[in-house]
Amino acid sequence: MRSVPDFSIEKKVGKKIIAGADEAGRGPLCGPVVAGAVVFKKYDFDDMPLICDSKQMSEKQRNIAYDWITNNPDIIWSSAQCSASEIDEMNILQASLTAMTRAVGALDIDVEYCLIDGNKMPKGLIGESVVKGDAKSLSIAAASIVAKVTRDRIMKELSKKYPQYEWEKNAGYPTQQHLQAIDKYGINEHYRKTYRPVKERIEKNGNS
């Protein structure tokens, strides 16, 4: 059953400028981890499309919601990322938290309080972490949509240069076809070399 988030947490916090933040792309073998940050200037909208956990939405629904969020004058949003090399350097958890910190910092407004999806609070941000926050807070859910759509578009663009991996279809996740493509064509600079399927292939084949 789909969980429908609302503004209950935001209203309970009581601050005027609250940013929701979430990330997309912790599981893929390649590409960046991307974070979104969203601030709603008001909490009543007559034309709001479906906004919930981006993983529960179809691509069409996400794109409709993304366009509404990013074109709405009553919403401030941003996105940021950590590259594959940064993920290898600091690990995916820290890279995810760093990307969210960067996204909040990129907002064109001084944020008073942050609602962060998950159970970890990024250093330097004031606020709270919310487990399954994208199913509870509309600010976090909107941020999850910004992150997911942005990352999918990055992978589709990268796929034009590396069509053999079909990133436009698998978004970098370890599907059987993707793993077979890696076995055939090797890896490139966009792969996360500390991820086990990639690391094992590097050790086996000696490519880096």
CATH architecture of 8-159: 2-Layer Sandwich (3.30)
Percentage of residues of the chain with pLDDT beyond 90: 90
**pLDDT at residue 53, as a whole number:** 86
Q: What would the DSSP string read from start to end of 123-143?
A: TT--EEEETTGGGTBHHHHHH
The pLDDT tens digits of the residues spanning 16-57 come to: 899 999 999 999 999 999 999 999 999 999 999 999 889 889
- Mean pLDDT, all residues of the chain: 95
Local confidence band at 90 (pLDDT 50, 70, 90 cut-offs): very high
The pLDDT tens digits of the residues spanning 105-164 come to: 999 999 999 999 999 999 899 999 999 999 999 999 999 999 999 999 999 999 999 999
Residue 172: count of CB within 10 angstroms of its CB: 26
SS3 (DSSP) at 87: helix
**Cα dihedral sign, 151-157-162-165:** positive
**pLDDT at residue 2, as a whole number:** 57
CB 109 within 8 A of CB 139: no
Domain ranges of the chain: 8-159
**pLDDT at residue 205, as a whole number:** 77
- Sheet containing 113-117, strands listed edge to edge, beginning at the edge strand earlier in sequence: 75-82, 33-40, 18-24, 113-117, 127-130
Q: What is the mean pLDDT of residues 74-103?
A: 98
Whole-angstrom distance, CA of residue 20 vs CA of residue 118: 12
Whole-angstrom distance, CA of residue 133 vs CA of residue 63: 20
- Sorted by sequence, the CB contacts under 8 Å of residue 160 that are 6+ apart come out as none
Tell whether pTM > 0.75. Answer: yes
